[in-house]
């Protein structure tokens, strides 16, 4: 029996093995291997890292360095191969069952019509189907000219964006306002997202207020100190692309934090192939871009009239010193060095970069030194799971001198306005500094000895996990998770030694202030994305997800005066002060969105996000922010003229959170009979404090013209903003002076136009032109409190008034009244420009190219504080000029400015030659002759802010130095005052790939 059973078992096993072998043979017969090469149409150059995928499956590969590819396990029957590569249109190639070798030719997408643009937390769509106006700036365009920050690199390149510097000091310091004003008392800076992770753009004051007394006696008042907004830490060379979600319909996916717009930064990632190195070396310099000039006193009598008889020993009619040259005449040698390497296999890819930028200022002893190291890794864990991680370590060290608003006579720019050109304050032969007998400080000594050191260490970690849970011809399901941490540590040290002339004035010689700040931001974003192919003509993509964000800010400050022995440590001071700030904010949001694309023509999008925040009066309450959009493409509309037309309409809602602590009524320190106590603060908080809400409707038309050689886009938008935060005055019987609450409303309308064209594009010649233009207007539609001013009419104020612009500027004027004239505040103009525009052109001939960008602003207004202080010092360059009545014009301005301040309110219209670059791609034979391993090299000469045409007097019309550190959006752009002067820069760069 045992033998019979054994023989039967062997026969059964043999039969099973035969069946398995036959099944395996059948299975193998159902698959095949497809090979080929991907080439560029005009140049026939191989295209590296093109993504090839069999439609409806996860089977695919990447093209290698020579453009060749191999796809194994492809179905044996007819199939469609989908080819994607950044900079080229997505291409679908039918492959019948008999073809196993392909040559795929891609035409470069110069107009980026097939660029994928973010439309959801984890989804995107090609630009040609996009239903919103989303601006994009490529990494190549960002780096045409060396820039100190990404915001400087974007100036003049985005329709509807106003980007202005708060200071000309090295290291940056900018403000971006997208589509006009969006708040009155709240902040309106855009939200920054790097590789899917929200990062901070906090601006932290340095602590100079203890020396300048610009605002009270606190250690630091950030909005008076022109702090750097920390997005300037990033290295522009690492950026692949920047998308700007301007409208609420696009930005609604970020809910209650997105009313100022969203800037999405995508960094460079590795491509499969051998290691590719890129080395960039640059050296440059900069110089003062504008001179105020000063008065040349014609006689001793004129000098005595200003300074008194004590000026006599100093007066010398033959000595005319140019103090702007003495203070701002440094011609630094700057450098910018970066090295990157990328490569890997189909499963593992990497991008590693390191950079060092050293930027010295036009003022001696001022500088900004930035060091960055980035590592991006892409790992295919399995056929269904992919992981992307990135880490960047940054270190910024800077000294920005002593500039800006000043009420003590110590700021460098202030002091310069009061020094006559015949007074010699240069260093003595023995190394000592002369005393300025007519003003509290010697600015040249301040430049030499004052220290304003800032050291920032920052670590940004990002990650993205993608898991294909379901793949099929009709249904796909992905789990996509983003997570990241942004950790920033900033240390500031202010040291004003006792030897400085102004230090003994208050009887406390020597001032030291230091601060340590930590800002920690955590993000976690979880998404499920479902794709549904309904037949061959309809594709539906849906996603649901959650987002958690935590922000922690901790800051300690200490200051000391009367430094014993001149030691800069605060423990050496006899008069000390301390300050501490702590805050923590937790946000949680849930969202859902569905996009339906029919025949690649009609797109319908609906979605919503619900947010709650610990900043709200009720931290458990969710606020809903919906969105909806649609677009329709008319293909072959008028072939040869209008190749394609697209109509789009979108609606969306976003919010602006209350600031931390606004929901609380403060307890202030007090003393009762010498015993420490608390007392209730005078500002009462509203218990139902909630986000400001912005509802925006936009409609637009996009055209592809002249056989797809140009695009034209126009967008009109209208924003209705409600629940604006305002301060309400309360009756004294309430026990409070005022209350912070929601209640005001505002409307903003505008138009934006973008034109991209490449009229000439051959192997020898090329011409690319880009034009953008934008305008917007605001109007306060509801104000449940009386009209109020932000600022002072004497120096520059904004008046918030129902029915009027939210950026109208108010100054003093005199009006006739019985018995004389009376001083009253009147409208001087509007701080918001009528329109802004940018026009960039690049002409290429073989390996030579010339690029130039013009940036223009029409209208807008500033209160010109620097010029005013030259007049107050009776030291302005035209002070002695005579008017039609024979009076000195400077004297007329000085004696009347308190009553008639329109003298110093000036239009900020300008045209700037923002960027110019002449570059040369060295011939390949030269490159290989110098180094056989090199694959290409480029030499370029470039400049930034080379020249501007403007009637604005007093410096840079863009440098409004009251725009950081929590300044309300309404008054970000209304005053210019003693800022670090603007400069023009020049760079010589050499780059080589190997």
What lies within 8 Å, CB to CB, of 864 at 6+ separation is 904, 905, 906, 952, 953, 954, 976
User: How much is the mean pLDDT over the chain?
Assistant: 89
Reading the block at residue 782, the tokens are: 């509801």
Q: Which pLDDT does position 568 carry in this prediction?
A: 92
pLDDT of residue 969: 57
Q: State yes or no: pLDDT of 255 exceeds 50.
A: yes
User: What is the distance between the alpha carbons of residues 851 and 940, in angstroms, rounded to a whole number?
Assistant: 11
Q: How confident is the model at residue 10 (pLDDT cuts 50, 70, 90)?
A: very low
Q: What is the pLDDT of residue 555?
A: 96
Task: Please give the pLDDT value at position 80.
Answer: 87
CA atoms within 13 A on the CB side of 141: 22
Which of 981 and 44 is assigned the larger pLDDT?
A: 981
Angle among Cα 614, 619, 625 to the nearest 5 degrees reads: 95
What order of strands is seen across the sheet that includes strand 79-85?
60-62, 51-54, 79-85, 88-95
Alpha carbons 720 and 697: distance in angstroms, whole number = 9
**Which residue carries 């290409």 as its tokens?**
936
- Residue 917 and residue 941 in contact, taking contact as beta carbons nearer than 8 Å: yes
Output the CA torsion sign for 829, 830, 831, 837: negative
The predicted model gives 700-721 an average pLDDT of: 94
Classified as helix, coil or strand, 567 is coil
Confidence of residue 687 (pLDDT cuts 50, 70, 90): confident
Q: Strand runs (DSSP E) across 733-794, as ranges? A: 738-761, 765-782, 788-792
pLDDT at 776 (0 to 100) = 96
Show the CA angle centred on residue 757, arms to residues 753 and 761, nearest 5°: 175
How far apart are alpha carbons 342 and 624 in whole angstroms? 43
Report residue 335 as tokens. Answer: 């450098």
pLDDT digits (tens, 9 = 90+) for 888-913: 999 999 998 888 878 888 999 999 99
- Is residue 171 within 8 Å of 398, Cβ to Cβ? yes
Residue 428 vs residues 317, 424, 431, 449, 810: alpha-carbon distances, Å: 21, 10, 5, 15, 46
Contact 243, 264 (CB under 8 A): yes
Q: Single out the residue of 441, 543, 549 nearest to residue 499, CA to CA.
A: 441
| Non-local CB neighbours of 697 within 8 Å, separated by 6+ positions | 649, 650, 651, 717, 718
Contacts of 154 (CB under 8 A, 6+ apart): 137, 142, 161, 163, 176, 242
CA distance readout (Å), 614 to 583, 584, 622, 766: 11, 8, 11, 54
pLDDT above 70 for 198: yes
CA distances from residue 190 to 193, 564, 958 in whole angstroms, order as listed:
10, 45, 19
Higher pLDDT: 89 or 138? It is 138
pTM of the predicted structure, to 2 decimals: 0.89
Provide the pLDDT for residue 114: 65
Instruction: Determine which of 86-100, 580-594, 599-613, 945-959 has the lowest per-residue pLDDT on average.
Output: 86-100
If DSSP codes are grouped into helix, strand and coil, which group holds residue 442?
Answer: coil
Separation between Cα atoms, residue 324 and residue 338, nearest integer Å: 34
Q: For residue 165, which of 328, 329, 403, 365 has the smallest C-alpha distance?
A: 403
DSSP labels for 298-344?
-SHHHHHHHH-GGGGGG--TT----HHHHHH-----EEEEEEEEEEE
Mean pLDDT of 76-99: 84
User: How far is Cα 698 from Cα 412, in angstroms, rounded to an integer?
Assistant: 47
d(CA 297, CA 283) in angstroms, rounded, equals 41
Q: Is residue 343 predicted with pLDDT exceeding 80?
A: yes
Task: Identify whether the C-beta of residue 193 lies closer than 8 Å to the C-beta of residue 264.
Answer: yes
pLDDT digits (tens, 9 = 90+) for 216-234: 888 988 778 888 889 999 9
Cα 371 → chain centroid: 19
Report pLDDT for 24: 40
pLDDT of residue 310: 92
DSSP state of 257: G
In the predicted model, what is the mean pLDDT of residues 791-819? 85
d(CA 570, CA 575): 9
Evaluate whether 196 touches 940 at the Cβ level (below 8 Å): no
Give yes or no for residue 514 having a pLDDT over 80. yes
- Does the pLDDT value for residue 111 go beyond 80? no
pLDDT over 60 at 748, yes or no: yes
Cα–Cα distance measured from residue 463 to residue 388, given in angstroms and rounded to the nearest whole number: 5
Instruction: Report whether pLDDT(188) > 80.
Output: no
Cα 60 to Cα 72: distance, rounded to the nearest angstrom: 8
Quote the pLDDT of residue 447: 97
- Cβ-contact 164, 432 below 8 angstroms: no
Measure Cα distances from 479 to 123, 152, 961 in Å.
12, 37, 46
Q: What is the DSSP string of 478-502?
A: EEEEEEEEEEEEEEEEEEE-TTSTT
Question: Which among 425, 580, 421, 406 is positioned nearest to 496, based on CA atoms?
Answer: 406
Q: What's the pLDDT tens digit per position in 366-401?
A: 999 999 999 999 999 998 999 999 999 999 999 999
The interaxial angle of helices 865-872 and 889-896, nearest 10 deg, is 110
Q: What is the pLDDT of residue 9?
A: 46
Kindly state the average pLDDT of the residues 312-326. Answer: 94
When pLDDT is averaged across residues 828-841 and rounded to a whole number, the result is 94
Among 62-76, 259-273, 418-432, 477-491, which is the least confidently predicted range?
Answer: 62-76
Can you tell me the distance from the alpha carbon of 34 to that of 31, in angstroms, rounded to the nearest whole number? 10
Cα 431 from chain centroid (whole Å): 44
Closest CA to 190 of 112, 94, 259, 109: 259
Q: What percent of the chain has pLDDT over 70?
A: 95
Answer whether 162's CB lies under 8 Å from 176's CB: yes
Mean pLDDT of 649-658: 94
Q: Which residues sit opposite 684 in a β-bridge? A: 739
Q: How sure is the predictor about 86, in pLDDT bands with cuts at 50, 70 and 90?
A: low
Q: Which of 729, 723, 727 is nearest to 743 (CA)?
A: 723
Residue 532 — φ and ψ, nearest 5°? -135, 115
Starting at the edge strand that comes first in sequence, how are the strands of the sheet with 31-40 ordered? Answer: 68-75, 31-40, 101-106
Q: What percent of the chain has pLDDT over 90?
A: 62
* pLDDT score for 975: 78
Question: Looking at the predicted structure, is the pLDDT value of residue 7 above 60?
Answer: no
The answer to whether residues 988 and 933 touch, using CB atoms and an 8 Å cutoff, is no
User: How many other C-beta atoms are found inside a 10 Å radius of the C-beta of residue 42?
Assistant: 12
Residue 671: pLDDT over 70? yes
Q: What is the pLDDT of residues 14-31, one digit of tens each?
A: 444 344 343 444 444 478
Question: What is the predicted pLDDT for the residue at 27?
Answer: 40
Q: How many residues does the chain have?
A: 994
Name the band, by pLDDT with cuts 50, 70 and 90, for residue 686.
confident
Whole-number Å distance between alpha carbons of 694 and 720: 6
pLDDT of 43: 73
Q: What is the pLDDT of residue 572?
A: 94
Q: Name the band, by pLDDT with cuts 50, 70 and 90, for residue 110.
A: low
pLDDT in tens, 851-900: 999 999 999 998 888 999 999 999 999 999 999 999 999 999 999 888 88
Q: Which helix (H) or strand (E) holds 896?
A: helix 889-896
DSSP conformation class of 536 = T
Q: How far is 647 from 633, CA to CA, in rounded Å?
A: 7
Cα–Cα distance for residue pair 501/433, rounded to 1 Å = 9
Tokens of 425: 């304050």
Answer yes or no: is pLDDT of 573 > 70: yes
Among the listed ranges 58-62, 297-301, 742-746, which one has the minimum average pLDDT value?
58-62
The first and second tokens of residue 532, run together, are 């549904």
pLDDT over 50 (residue 437):
yes
Structure tokens at 865: 């504080």
* CB neighbourhood size of 234 (10 A): 25
Locus of tokens 């104000």:
783
Contact by Cβ (8 Å): 75, 84: no
DSSP 154: H
């Amino acid at each position: 029996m045992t033998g019979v059973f054994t023989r039967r078992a062997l026969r059964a096993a043999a039969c099973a093995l035969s069946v398995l072998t036959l099944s395996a043979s059948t299975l193998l017969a159902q698959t095949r291997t497809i090979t080929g090469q991907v080439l560029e149409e005009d140049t026939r150059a191989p295209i590296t890292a093109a993504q090839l995928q069999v439609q409806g499956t996860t089977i695919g590969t990447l093209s290698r360095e020579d453009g060749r590819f191999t796809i194994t396990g492809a179905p044996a029957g007819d199939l469609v191969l989908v080819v994607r590569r950044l900079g080229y249109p997505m291409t679908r190639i039918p492959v019948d069952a008999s073809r196993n070798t392909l040559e795929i030719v891609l035409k470069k997408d110069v107009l980026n019509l097939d660029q994928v643009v973010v439309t959801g937390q984890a989804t995107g769509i090609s630009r040609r189907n996009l239903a919103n106006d989303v601006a994009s700036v490529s990494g190549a365009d960002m780096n045409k000219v060396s820039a100190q920050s990404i915001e400087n690199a974007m100036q003049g390149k985005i329709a509807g964006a106003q980007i202005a510097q708060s200071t000309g000091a090295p290291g940056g310091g900018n403000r971006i306002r997208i589509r006009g004003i969006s708040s009155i008392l709240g902040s309106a800076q855009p939200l920054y997202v790097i590789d899917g992770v929200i990062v901070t753009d906090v601006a932290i004051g340095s602590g100079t207020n203890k020396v300048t007394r610009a605002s009270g006696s606190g250690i630091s008042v950030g909005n008076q100190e022109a702090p750097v907004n920390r997005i300037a830490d990033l290295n522009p060379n690492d950026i692949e692309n920047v998308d700007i979600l301007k409208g609420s319909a696009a930005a609604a996916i970020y809910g209650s934090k997105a009313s100022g717009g969203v800037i999405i930064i995508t960094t460079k990632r590795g491509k499969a192939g051998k290691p590719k190195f890129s080395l960039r070396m640059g050296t440059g310099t900069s110089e003062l871009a504008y001179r105020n000039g000063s008065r040349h006193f014609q006689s001793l009598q004129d000098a005595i009239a200003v300074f008194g008889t004590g000026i006599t020993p100093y007066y010398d009619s033959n000595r005319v010193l140019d103090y702007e040259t003495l203070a701002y005449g440094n011609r630094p040698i700057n450098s910018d060095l970066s090295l990157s390497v990328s490569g890997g296999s189909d499963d593992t890819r990497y991008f590693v970069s390191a950079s060092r930028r050293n930027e010295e200022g036009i003022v001696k002893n001022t500088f900004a030194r930035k060091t960055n190291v980035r590592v991006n890794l892409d790992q295919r864990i399995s056929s269904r799971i992919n992981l992307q991680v990135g880490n960047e370590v940054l270190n910024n060290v800077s000294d920005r001198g002593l500039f800006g608003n000043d009420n003590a006579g110590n700021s460098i720019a202030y002091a310069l306005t009061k020094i006559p050109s015949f007074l010699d304050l240069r260093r003595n032969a023995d190394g000592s500094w002369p005393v300025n007998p007519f003003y509290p400080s010697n600015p040249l000594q301040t430049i030499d000895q004052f220290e304003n050191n800032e050291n920032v260490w920052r670590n940004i970690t990002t990650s993205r996990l993608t898991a294909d849970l379901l793949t099929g011809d009709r249904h796909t399901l992905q789990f996509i998770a983003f997570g990241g941490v942004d950790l920033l540590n900033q240390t500031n040290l202010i040291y004003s030694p006792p030897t400085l002339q102004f230090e003994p004035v208050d009887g406390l010689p020597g001032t030291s202030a230091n601060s340590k700040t930590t800002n920690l931001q955590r993000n976690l974003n979880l998404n499920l994305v479902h794709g549904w192919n309904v037949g061959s003509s309809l594709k539906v993509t849906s996603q649901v997800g959650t987002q958690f964000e935590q922000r922690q800010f901790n800051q300690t400050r200490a200051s000391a005066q009367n430094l014993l022995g001149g030691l800069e440590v605060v423990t050496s001071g006899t008069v000390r002060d301390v300050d501490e700030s702590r805050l923590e904010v937790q946000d949680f949001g849930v969202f859902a969105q569905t996009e339906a694309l029919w025949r690649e023509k009609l797109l319908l999008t609906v979605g919503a996000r619900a947010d709650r925040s610990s900043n709200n009066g009720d931290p458990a309450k969710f606020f809903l922010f919906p969105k909806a959009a649609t677009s329709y493409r008319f293909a072959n509309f008028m072939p040869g003229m209008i190749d394609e037309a697209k109509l789009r309409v979108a609606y969306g809602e976003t919010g602006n959170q209350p600031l931390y602590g606004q929901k609380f009524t403060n307890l202030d320190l007090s003393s009762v009979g010498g015993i420490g106590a608390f007392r209730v603060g005078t500002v009462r908080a509203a218990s139902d404090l909630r986000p400001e809400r912005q509802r925006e409707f936009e409609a637009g038309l996009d055209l592809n013209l002249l056989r797809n050689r140009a695009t034209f886009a126009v967008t009109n938008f209208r924003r209705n903003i409600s629940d604006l935060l305002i301060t309400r005055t309360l009756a004294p019987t309430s026990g409070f002076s005022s209350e912070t609450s929601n209640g005001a409303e505002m409307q903003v309308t505008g138009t934006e136009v973008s034109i991209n064209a490449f009229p000439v594009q051959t192997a020898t010649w090329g011409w690319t032109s880009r034009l953008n233009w934008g305008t917007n207007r605001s109007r306060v539609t509801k104000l449940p409190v009386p009209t109020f001013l932000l600022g002072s009419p004497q120096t520059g104020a904004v008046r918030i008034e129902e029915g009027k612009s939210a950026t109208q500027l108010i100054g003093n004027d005199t009006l006739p009244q019985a018995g004389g004239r009376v001083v009253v505040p009147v409208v001087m103009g509007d701080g918001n420009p009528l329109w802004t525009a940018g026009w960039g052109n690049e002409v290429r001939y073989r390996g030579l190219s010339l690029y130039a960008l013009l940036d223009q602003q029409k209208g807008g207004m500033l209160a010109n504080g620097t010029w005013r202080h030259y007049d107050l010092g009776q030291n302005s360059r035209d002070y002695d000029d005579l008017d039609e009545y024979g009076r000195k014009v400077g004297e007329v301005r000085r004696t009347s400015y308190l009553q008639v301040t329109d003298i110093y309110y000036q239009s900020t219209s300008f045209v700037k030659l923002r960027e110019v670059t002449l570059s040369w791609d060295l011939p390949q034979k030269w490159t290989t002759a110098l180094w056989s391993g090199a694959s290409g090299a480029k030499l370029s000469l470039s400049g930034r802010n080379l020249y501007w045409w403007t009637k604005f007097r007093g410096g840079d019309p863009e440098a409004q130095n009251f725009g950081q550190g929590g300044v309300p959006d309404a008054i970000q752009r209304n005053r210019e005052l003693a800022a670090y002067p603007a400069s023009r820069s020049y760079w010589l760069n050499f780059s080589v790939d190997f």
